[in-house]
Amino acid sequence: MSRKTAFLTLGIETSCDETSVAVLSGEHDVLINSVYSQVDLHAKYGGVVPEVASRNHVVKLPYLIQEAVQSIGVRLQKISLIAATYGPGLVGPLLVGLTHGKGLACGLGIPFIGVNHLEGHVFAHRLTLPDAEPPFMALVVSGGHTSLIDVPQYGTYQLVGMTVDDAAGEALDKIGKMMGIGYPAGAEIDRLAAVGDPKTVRFPRPMIGSPGFDFSFSGLKTSVVYHLRKNPRERREDIAASVLASVVEILTKKSIEAARRFHRKRLVVTGGVAANSHLRNALTEAGSERGIEVSFPPPSLCTDNAAMIAAVGAFRFLRLGESHPLSLKPDPSLGLGVRESDE
C-alpha cells in the first residue's frame, strides 16, 4: 500500500520534557519518530520544571509536525487520525500536545483520539515485535512510573503492582543528584556501575519480601543520603554499582515472580529505565532460569516517544472503533488497568 492510500496516524507526545511527533502507516510501520529532548534546559535545575517544559513544547511542536510530514513526503491533509497523549504526566505539557492535536484534527476534519501514556509504553513492544502477541506481563519502569501490568490482550489490562512512593527512575535521578551527577542520572549511573563493586554497600531492598507486587524506592534513597554523609569520599563507581544492585534486584524479583504467578511466559519491559544494561542482563538471566522470555524495545522506543502513542491510537481506532470528542481534557493522574481488589 502506498503512502498516498495508507491509513496514516500522526502521534503527539508531550507528557513531560520530550516533544515528540511520529507518523505511523497502518498499525506497525513507523515512517518517522522525531524526539526533541529538553534535557539541557532542565539540567541546571536538577529536574523538570513544568512551566519551562510547557513553553518549549509550544515552540517546538509545530515545527516538529511540519518537519515530520515534509520528511516523509506526505501532505498534512493525507493524515487519517490524530493521536495525542492525554495522561498521565505533567498537566501543562499534556495540555500543549492535547490542544494542538485537537486543533489539527478539527482543522483537517479527521478523527482524534487521546492516548494513555502507559498504554503507549506497552505498545512499544507491539512496534518492536508485532508477532509476539499477548498474553504477557509488562513492567513499565521510568522516571515517572514503575508498574507491573498484566496484559491478557491489547486493550485489556490488570494492574498487578505499582510504586507506593518514588518511581525507580525518579529515585535514580535523586540519588544521582546526591552523587554530583547531572540530570538525568540514569545513564551515567549505569556507566559508573559497570566499573564499580556492587558489594561495597549493602543498601536496603525495600518491600522485596512483602506480599504482593508493589514497589518502594524512597527508603533506598534515604539510605544513600545517610551513607554519603558518613562516607563522603566513597568511590562514585562503587556507590552507583551498589545502588543499581538494589534497584535491579527489586525489579527483577518482583517482575519474574509476577509473570510466574499469572502464568505468563513472556515479560515485556518498557520505559526509560528499560534501557539500563544491568537491568536487561539481570531480567534476561532470571527469565531464562524460569522459562520466561524477556523482551525489551530498542532504546529509541524505551524513552517517551510519539510512535508508541500513534500505535495505540491506530489500534484503538481501527480495531476497537474508538475516538474522542474534542472536549477531552488532560488527566495527569490517569492509570492503566485496575486491581482485582479494586473492581
Number of H helices, E strands in the chain: 11, 10
The class that CATH gives domain 8-121+303-334 is: alpha beta
CB 10 within 8 A of CB 82: yes
Residue 255 has pLDDT above 90, yes or no: yes
Report the Cα 94 to chain-centroid distance in Å: 15
Residue 46 has pLDDT above 90, yes or no: no
For 307, other C-beta atoms within 10 Å of its C-beta total: 27
- Residue 156 has a pLDDT of 97
CB 37 within 8 A of CB 17: yes
Among 116, 104, 93, CA closest to 8: 104
171: Cβ–Cβ under 8 A, 6 or more apart, which residues? Answer: 217, 218, 220, 221, 247
Instruction: Give the amino acid at 132.
Output: A
- Read off the pLDDT of residues 271-319 as tens digits, 9 standing for 90 and up: 999 999 999 999 999 999 999 999 999 999 999 999 999 999 999 999 9
Residue 246 has pLDDT above 60, yes or no: yes
CA distances (Å), 274 to each of 54, 243, 303, in order? Answer: 26, 16, 9
- Read off the pLDDT of residues 199-241 as tens digits, 9 standing for 90 and up: 999 999 999 999 999 999 999 999 999 999 999 999 999 999 9
- Residue 40 has a pLDDT of 72
pTM of the model: 0.94
Least-confidence region, from 64-78, 241-255, 278-292, 328-342: 328-342
- Residue 343 has a pLDDT of 44
The class that CATH gives domain 134-301 is: alpha beta
Strands (E) across 38-126 are located at 81-87, 112-116
Interstrand relation of 136-141 and 146-153 (parallel, antiparallel or unpaired): antiparallel
CATH code 3.30.420.40 region(s) in the chain = 8-121+303-334, 134-301
- Residue 4 has a pLDDT of 58
For 252, other C-beta atoms within 10 Å of its C-beta total: 23
Cα separation of 140 and 28, whole Å? 20
Question: Which whole number is the average pLDDT over 317-343?
Answer: 89
- Read off the pLDDT of residues 88-139 as tens digits, 9 standing for 90 and up: 999 999 999 999 999 999 999 999 999 999 999 999 999 999 999 999 999 9
Residue 3 has pLDDT above 90, yes or no: no
Cα separation of 228 and 219, whole Å? 14
